[in-house]
Structure 1
Amino acid sequence: MEIIIVERPEQAAPLVADAYTALLARKPDAVLGLATGSTPLGVYDELVRRHREEGLSFARASAFTLDEYVGLPADHPERYRNVIHRDFTSRVDLDPARVHGPDGLAEDLQAAGPAYDAAIAAAGGVDLQILGIGVDGHLAFNMPTSSLASRTRLKTLTARTREDNARFFDGDVDAVPTHCLTQGLGTIMESRHAVLLGFGLAKAQAVAACVEGALSARWPASVLQMHPHATVVVDQAAASQLTFTDYYQHTYAGKPDWQGL
């Protein structure tokens, strides 16, 4: 696990975008793992800029999203398939038919999870998965106590999560779905490169627990300690409870340029 500490969140965007750019240069038909939420927006904006100004192309790529609410109508603006379309995929040349998400409207929700894992495998697996970390260490919708080997499945959202997400539903917590389909931690661990972003003082405890603490279902993102290629990019506030900050900064400063992210 590589830890990169930037001074401000906006400094993370070009670093992560460089990883996308390098991946697409060597593998134009790469499979991208996309996350919704505010954390990756800076990265998406930088990728859009590179697409428009530097010719970065996603035309041969495909993408899989992390999760989806259960029961939201197909045209609902907060359906994650629509959110990722609005925030990123519609702004670049990524074919909408090659953007996939869990089926939150499936008649058989129990079967929808394994079907999604099978679709990812059939596409060749995710090459680069972008992730955000929750204040409680959750990853996607894998809340504390989620199995570290879990697969894509139906999950019940916690009251805290529904309250946090009510801001996207005009403040009405009752409008926030109770269930979701989410990639499991085991599914996420099969990505070839996982990039975890965390910004702000509110994330500091979770970052410290997941990076330097014990591997534990209490802190789901700690599973990335076992990932063969995991990169954690945090700002100084989110890194404020880390013990080995000097070491992380020293090793990153001495990293050969050819290694990339």
Structure 2
Amino acid sequence: MKTPPNSNPVVVVTGGARGIGLEICNTFLKRGYRVAALDIERETLAKTEAHFNTPDFLAIHCDVSKPVQVSRSVTRIERKFGRIDSLVNNAGVAIFKPILEVTWQDWRYVMDTNLDGAFWCTQACAKVMLKNGGGSVVNIASISGLRASTLRVAYGTSKAAIIHLTKQQAAELGDAGIRVNCVAPGPVATEMAKLVHSKAIIKDYHDTIPMNRYGSTEEIANAVAFLCSREASYINGQTIAVDGGFDASGVGLPTLRKSRQSTSPRKINKI
């Protein structure tokens, strides 16, 4: 008796070997998806593949800034799983320098991966999605794409461009059955963040974020999974900041919070 083909949905996750990408892969596997992870870090990717150790997980070494590599990777995914239902454009790099010290090489390195990579991967995966009636794309931006900060001119600009790319893709692919949305994480407690965020920086973030903490990789992954689910079937072209209220808060919030905690409610006379 011939075994029927596996009809479980397939998600492609770029930058899936560690951090947020790894948690996204884990979340989708738990939800019954078959997962293809693309990553440029070959050794880390091999460890991730060994960690999951399941035929439902496909690890592919790929530089998403190279269209030929992306095309070959998507062809391999289609041959392996037969379909693509969702794409998560998570791969990203960052260079933190003063604005006047950023080189052409710095700028291109960030834009090639963060912006161009998302474009090439969506273009390639969307063609496969359309063979099965459509799908969902989630681009991972950043709170740095919504509000400016120091030392992040290339990174922040690339993420702001991702937010507009999301709208453009949603407008053009929506009527073909492919929804495109964006998640903009705030500070997240990843291994990389632990290495580059000093105690002073962490305190600064805590003082500014209304929820007074970093987010977790699980919280980002859950937002991504929701946007790829049927429950989000009428959400298209949107950017959700998963940031504990960081983008919503304004200047002076820490001081106002302390004031609120140390004083009783006061009556304000209307003018």
Same fold (TM over 0.5): no
**Greater RCO between the two (CA within 8 Å, min separation 6)?**
1
Task: Say which structure is richer in helix.
Answer: 2
- Give the shorter-chain TM-score range: 0.3 to 0.5
User: TM-score of the superposition, structure 1-length normalised?
Assistant: 0.40
Larger of the two Rg values belongs to structure: 2
